Each structure stands twice: as C-alpha cells, then as structure tokens.
Amino acid sequence: VPSLADVVAHLDRWYPPSAAAEWDAVGPVCGDPDADVSRVLLAVDPVEEVVDEALAVGADLLLVHHPLYLRGTSTVYAGTTKGRLVQRLVTHGCALVVAHTNADDADHGVSHALAEAVGLTGPLAPLVPSEASPATGTGRYGVLAEPTTLGAFAQQVADALPGTPVGVRVGGAPDREVRTVAVCGGAGDAFLDVAAAVGADVYVTADLRHHLAGEHLACGGPALVDPGHWASEWPWLPVAARLLEGALGPGTVDVRVSTTVTDPWTALRRRELR
Ligand SMILES: [Zn+2]
C-alpha cells in the first residue's frame, strides 16, 4: 500500500508544484506523509459536502483542484468554517492535497481533459504556450472531426459534462458553423483575444464577464459556450483518477471521483420569454 508521500510524489511528477502560479497554494494541506493510502476521493472543491463524502466512503486522501486556503491562514480552529473541515479530515485520518494551476495547464491537465470531453479527439495546442514546456500551457484548441452548428455543439458539451442546475449558457447564433474549438477550464475570459487570434469558431470556458463577452461577440469573435466553472473543471477528475490507478497498480488503491455538484449556483428561475 502506498504512503501519502508516494502518492504526492506521483502527483508532483504529473503536476509539478513549480508549474503553479506564484499566487497559488498547492500541495498537501494536511495528512501524515507516512500514512497508508488505500482509498482516494477526487473532487473539484474542498467544501463541506465533499468532506462529508470523503469521510463517508472512508477515503484516506481527498485530492481537490481548488485550494482550501488560497490566501493562507493563521488558524485551523474548528470554530472557523475551513478549520472545521481540516479538523474533521485530521480526526478521520484523511489527508487533503491540492493540485490547482499546476494541474490547469499540464498534459493530462484540466484544459486538456475539457478539450477531450467536448469532442476534440485530434491534436491539441495550448492557447498560451508555457515558456518552460511549449507543448503545454493555458487552455487548448483543436478541430472537431466534423463541422457542426453552435446549437448542436453546445448540446454536445451539455451531454458530455456533468449536469448542473444552471446548465450551459450559449452566446452566438445557434446555426453558426463551428469546427475549430478553444477551451479553458475554469475562469477563461482573459483569453478571449487569444481564442479569436487562433481562429476558434467557439470558445468553451466559464466565469465570462458581461462587458468582455459582449464586446468580444460584437467584434466578430468566436461564439461562447459557458458550462459553469465546476462542470468545466470536472473532466480532469477521471483523468487524474486513471493516472493514479495506473501508477499505483490496479487493485492497490481504490480511486473514486466525486460527482457532487459544488458549483455555487444551485437553481435557475426565469421569466417566460414571449
Ligand atoms: Zn477553478
């Protein structure tokens, strides 16, 4: 049975902490490096429902994408929301490890997984190549096997990703033809210009701000498909789970992927359109 240190060493190989953004907080948050890891749960967000799930399935490692303490902390007191999560994890012997921006850009990373999930089966290139390894970097783009319409593509995205109460938002004419697709898991509106510059017909990303999205569409930029932040990053979980199973040996470690929807938007109500 591998130790937590063994598992972290594998993760560091695929998602080197040195590749994380300067402002990020990645790596182990709690746990004993010498402790055995026999069950792992992967999830996007280190929130209460996910910790509940990790403890319910008896995980001894919870691997998440988003940092619990992005801006650091001076306390893990259980009287605080986050401290309580740490206390519960420690009490039940479950480690917490974060792979955030170091997982975003990597091969087998978040944007790569999103690209494959939305139907890009051919070669992929990064929207913004990393200086250290230009084959990786921020976002991905590639070409669909067959051109389709924006409406059909958006439905394909909705069908490929886990369902959420808000669903998939679409910007652009539904009959517009799309073939070249750019993606960026999570918040990607900073790369609208890059998606346009690489000739994308459609850009799949989340957290698109009103003015940026509107001006981009008005200038003839790619159509927009926004599946929500959580759903856009979720496809990385099964990819990382398969890597862990492969490296640790099938049957050694039970690797599970959480399907608990932890997007902050929990309902959608709209007035009937006439
Ligand atoms: Zn994110």
In this predicted model, what pLDDT tens digit does every residue of 10-61 receive, in sequence order? 999 999 999 999 999 999 999 999 999 999 999 999 999 999 999 999 999 9
Q: Which two tokens stand for residue 40?
A: 């792992």
The sheet with strand 202-206 has its strands ordered as 140-149, 177-187, 202-206, 223-226, 169-171
* Strand stretches in the chain, DSSP E: 27-30, 39-43, 61-64, 95-98, 128-129, 137-138, 140-149, 169-171, 177-187, 202-206, 223-226, 254-257
Quick one: pLDDT at residue 132? 84
The residue type at 30 = C
Tell me, in angstroms, the distance from the centre of ligand 1 to residue 138's CA. Answer: 13
Q: What is the secondary structure of 187-240 as a DSSP string? A: E-GGGHHHHHHTT-SEEEEE---HHHHHHHHHTT--EEEE--HHHHHTTHHHHH
C-alpha of residue 57 to centroid of ligand 1, in Å: 24
pTM of the predicted model as reported, rounded to 2 decimal places: 0.96
Distance 112 CA to ligand 1 centre (A): 14
Would you give the DSSP letter of residue 3?
B
Q: Residue 103 Cα, ligand 1 centroid: separation in angstroms?
A: 10
Between the CA of 232 and the centroid of ligand 1 the distance, in Å, is: 8
For ligand 1, the distance from its centroid to the CA atom of residue 251, given in whole angstroms, is: 30
Q: What is the pLDDT along the chain (274 residues), one digit of tens a residue?
A: 999 999 999 999 999 999 999 999 999 999 999 999 999 999 999 999 999 999 999 999 999 999 999 999 999 999 999 999 999 999 999 999 999 999 999 999 999 999 999 999 999 999 999 988 888 899 999 999 999 999 999 999 999 999 999 999 999 999 999 999 999 999 999 999 999 999 999 999 999 999 999 999 999 999 999 999 999 999 999 999 999 999 998 789 999 999 999 999 999 998 988 8
Residues near ion ligand 1 (CB < 5 Å) are: 186
Expressed in angstroms and rounded, the spacing between residue 184 Cα and the centre of ligand 1 is 10
For residue 58, the CA-to-ligand 1 centroid distance in Å is: 26
Residue 26 to residue 269: CA distance in whole angstroms: 36
As a whole number of angstroms, the distance between CA 9 and CA 3 comes to 10
Beta strand pairing call for 169-171 and 140-149: unpaired
Residue 122 alpha carbon to ligand 1 centre in Å: 25
Distance 104 CA to ligand 1 centre (A): 8
